[in-house]
Structure 1
């Protein structure tokens, strides 16, 4: 069990208006009583790339090695980083079907972003009333929409 007073909690989400299309990412970082919201957008991307980017940007925003609980509604991100990435690295970034892994650049960035931190990856059901997932979703969607206007 981690000491929650010393744990950074992060909720992330990605959004895409069309897939591919304009996309956005959002993250809410919480440490004690402090909350910080981050977001950004890309004009031509995919939902999976935005989900990965949200986690990368959030982890990169940490200013010192931290114990982190990172909540994502993306099974792709959670399973990728906790189950699949070691095999991909071992196999030269090829999938089990010997195809190039999609989003290799972002997976490599996520591996780097995670270094120095102790990260527990937790999946949360999206659009199910989780306060911080809803905020992250709103940040991501707003960022994506900002490109359309």
Structure 2
């Protein structure tokens, strides 16, 4: 039998830089993403937003939108300033899933906030080998600063449209 392993392509490695922003919380919000393929040096920027949202929702949407761009299973490093997204993905989500997407609040159970976004992120994380790198926001990290610019630009655009 011929060696099939020679036909397997290596799993691509991709970096996804993300940030979310909100003008008011809640209010008009935006997210920004830089998708980088280090081995080829290719890079893609994109952004989006919502008229009425929260900063946490935009942080989640940035990661979701970045992962949705991937057309095949990949090894992914997500670089974010959102401890909420990183910790939620790595630490909190396994328990939320075990507890039917509920969290403890005091002695009672409450629904997980932003459950729809967390569920969507969960399904995307299952497709890839993902690691998170958390950086300090607004600390001069070039890609994080650029993602912040993209997110704020989109949020301001939505804010200006709603002011008309």
Instruction: Give the TM-score band, short-chain normalised.
Output: over 0.9
Hey, which bits of structure 1, 4+ residues long, moved more than 3 A? none
Structure 2 counterpart of 1:62? 70
Q: TM-score, normalized by length of structure 1?
A: 0.94
92-101 or 78-87: which moved more?
Answer: 92-101
How well do the aligned residues superpose, as a CA RMSD in angstroms? 1.2
Q: Deviations over 1:94-124 (max 9, x none)?
A: 1122111100000000011122211001101
Structure 2 counterpart of 1:77? 85
Which structure 2 residue ranges, 5 or more long, are not aligned? 1-11
Mapped pair 1:9 → 2:15: yes
Structure 2 counterpart of 1:20? 26
- In 2, Cα distance between the equivalents of 1:63 and 1:89? 26
Instruction: Report if aligned partners of 2:80, 2:135 keep a CA contact under 8 Å in 1.
Output: yes
- In 1, Cα distance between the equivalents of 2:78 and 2:112? 23
Number of positions where the alignment pairs a residue of Structure 1 with one of Structure 2? 145
Q: TM-score, normalized by length of structure 2?
A: 0.86
Structure 2 counterpart of 1:107? 118
Greater Rg by CA: 2
